[in-house]
């Protein structure tokens, strides 16, 4: 079984923006694809996304891409 863990960090983000992004992503995190998981953490002035996937790396990459698109849209709306 192939397993992968990917960490994506957004630096220099205010706590308020980080919370807004997390809130915007919560509905997407409910029906997450099978064998994939996402954890979001606020660490100082960073927003950290931890993706984990098993077996289907294409699905993991597509999920990361989709989540980051949502983050980008959320940040544009907030500004």
The CA distance from 45 to 56, in Å, is: 32
Residue 30 in this model has a pLDDT that exceeds 70? no
The CA distance from 50 to 74, in Å, is: 18
What average pLDDT score do residues 57-69 get?
93
- CATH code of 32's domain: 3.30.310.50
What average pLDDT score do residues 30-52 get?
89
Question: 66 by DSSP, 3-state: which?
Answer: helix
Place of tokens 């927003």: 47
Domain count of the fold of the chain? 1
pLDDT at position 29: 65
Q: What is the pLDDT of residues 3-22, one digit of tens each?
A: 999 999 999 999 999 999 99
**Residue 18 domain boundaries:** 3-78
DSSP 9: E
pLDDT at position 64: 93
């Amino acid at each position: 079984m192939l397993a992968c863990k990917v960490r994506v960090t957004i630096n220099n983000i205010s706590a308020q923006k980080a919370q807004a992004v997390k809130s915007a992503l919560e509905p997407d995190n409910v029906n997450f694809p099978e064998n994939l998981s996402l954890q979001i953490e606020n660490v100082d002035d960073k927003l950290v996304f931890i993706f984990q996937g098993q077996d289907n790396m294409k699905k993991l990459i597509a999920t990361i891409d989709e989540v980051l698109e949502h983050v980008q849209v959320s940040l544009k709306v907030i500004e």
